Structure 1
Amino acid sequence: MRTPQEIEVSGFGLFSARPSRVLFRCAQSQSGIRFVHPAGSPSVAALIAFQRIASGPLGGRNTVIAIDAYAVATIEHLLSALAGLNIWHIDVVTEAGELPILDGSALGFVEALRESPVSAATPLQLNRPFRVDDAATGAWIEARPARSIRYRYELRYPPGSGIADQHFEWDGDPRHYNEEIAPARTFSLEREAIALKSAGLFPHLTPRDMLVIAPDGRPIDNTYRFPDEPARHKLLDLIGDLALLGRPLVAEVIAHRSSHALTHELCRQIAGAMDPKLGVRS
């Protein structure tokens, strides 16, 4: 039975295809964002220190946190929604497994939580830049000192992919997030979707459920919510992964073709330097 302070969201996991149910409870203290087993224990904080890479062929395609045997996967959309709403102290009650993917965006989480009280956290500010490069792909991500939040994702696919070069930015404003970023859905190229289906993955999904983009750039059996929806969704993921710092990062962050892995490494660098002498101040 839910109390008036509890909010429930349910669906199925993107990778597991299993039913998934989460219950949101107001944190009783400044405990941060925590994932809690329904029995009350174990629990794991949504912090980069607990980030893990899932095993199997899909490892690295989502964000996973774990402590001992308690693991929760595909948390990036929820963390993005919480950061966008400026909610930094909340308990997310769920069994070990995967959060519901909903429609592939963060909109369902935002709609469920938008009336929840803001629970702000002390921001992090940088004294120096941090950067992570992937020499193999040319992707990179950099966080630079700034007086306000400015996150930018630059999407670049090879010629013939069907997706034009595009970018999108967020200035930290919750309304901007709710209206312009939260509705952007996860996507894949048609050739990627065919390969994954051939491998027996995602049997529960069709192009009507998730964006599958044809070589001509048009979604198959679907329509874009925004002309630059792919870049907006990548920014959504970026915001969620940066939330693993546990507090808002007040910085200029530019992500160029970057992945979950690069953002996680950036978070590790920043978290490891949470000292004024090393480049971060509260």
Structure 2
Amino acid sequence: MIKQRTIAKPVESVGIGLHKGKPVHLRLEPLEAGSGIVFYREDLGVSIPLRPEYVVDTQMATVIGKDGANVSTIEHFLSAVYAYGIDNMRVILDDAEMPIMDGSAASFCMMLDEAGMAEQNAGKEILRIRKAVTVRSGEKYVSLKPSETASFDFLIRFEHPVIAEQHRRFIFSKSAFVQEISRARTFGFLKEVQYLRSKNLALGGSLENAIVLDDTKVLNPEGLRFEDEFVRHKILDAMGDMKLLGRPILGAYEAFAGSHGLNHQLTVALLADESAYEIVTLQVEESAEFARSFA
């Protein structure tokens, strides 16, 4: 039997929040088997379990909340948690948003490497997709389909010369995530940043933690980390949003112009249809390949 996983020791870091521009203290702690991922706002004394019913906003990021306490921009962090196969962990914050770090998941991967992994005395559960579930908004859609390979397939199309149309299919494994996806940064357009700042948002945003584009080019002096960094980051976001399902997915995620809002609707629609999935405890002999993807 493949075992559940938590971190081996607590780790902490400090980073800037994207919207308030204030330092945020982040601490990760192990949790016992069966606990799931739990966010804790230590400044308010409120715990927020990571489940779709606690999503309170998806306009610019995925935001969870409970009893008047919110935590925003959790998706980059959660993509790393998903990739490392962590089932149980407490995420302690002293403000309403995760630190943005460099706009990717790379810093969170380094934190998890520092913490190390610990197996627990309980079987690891996965969510196996049994039938296709799709959510649409005009041309845009996100879906989960049955597959014996865990994958994330994303297509984006922007009226911008640097982005244009980008497509990538990512076959999931932790090592591939670290190499191919984790370093892909969030991106935005200069005119949008200027508008957000006029609303006292994106105050912590900079060329150090996002790709910024004007009408024709990338403004970051170092350029892009990957030619298709934009679609790679969309896959990173999708993995983080799917972590709200609470278990790794054995199935195929597919999207055209997907968003946090559509991803949230997809998790809700999937869980509402009990015939669309099954929860399976990973056995070594039948799921060795999937288990190895978290190695």
Give the alignment's TM-score, normalised by structure 2: 0.84
2:283 is aligned to none
- Written as runs of structure 1 = structure 2, the 5 A alignment for 1:96-135 is 96-115=95-114, 116-117=116-117, 121-135=124-138
Mapped pair 1:265 → 2:265? yes
Distance 1:236 1:29 in 2: 26
- Written as runs of structure 1 = structure 2, the 5 A alignment for 1:195-214 is 195-214=195-214
1:5 is aligned to 9
Is the deviation greater in 4-13 or in 83-92? 4-13
Cα deviation code 1:122-156 (max 9, x no counterpart): 11112210001112xx2111111111201111111
What amino acid is aligned across from residue 48 of structure 1 in structure 2? Answer: P
Cα deviation for residue 96 of structure 1 reads 4.5
Change (3 A) 1:41 1:204: closer
Give the alignment's TM-score, normalised by structure 1: 0.88
Mapped pair 1:143 → 2:149? no
Change (3 A) 1:164 1:269: same
Cα deviation for residue 229 of structure 1 reads 0.5
Cα deviation for residue 177 of structure 1 reads 0.4
- Written as runs of structure 1 = structure 2, the 5 A alignment for 1:80-91 is 80-91=79-90
Mapped pair 1:65 → 2:40? no
Cα deviation code 1:94-129 (max 9, x no counterpart): 234111000000100001102521668411112210
Distance 1:250 1:164 in 2: 31
Cα deviation for residue 173 of structure 1 reads 0.5
Cα deviation for residue 223 of structure 1 reads 1.2
Identity percentage over the alignment? 28
Unaligned runs of 5+ in 1: 54-58
Change (3 A) 1:32 1:161: same
Distance 1:190 1:23 in 2: 32
1:281 is aligned to 278
Distance 2:224 2:233 in 1: 12
2:33 is aligned to 29
Quote the RMSD (CA, aligned, Å): 2.1
Bigger relative contact order (CA 8 A; separation at least 6): 2
Unaligned runs of 5+ in 2: 1-7, 280-295
Report how many residues are paired. 268
Provide the secondary structure at the position in 1 that maps to 2:102: coil
Is the deviation greater in 190-199 or in 95-104? 190-199
Greater per-residue strand proportion: 2
Greater per-residue helix proportion: 2
Distance 1:36 1:77 in 2: 17
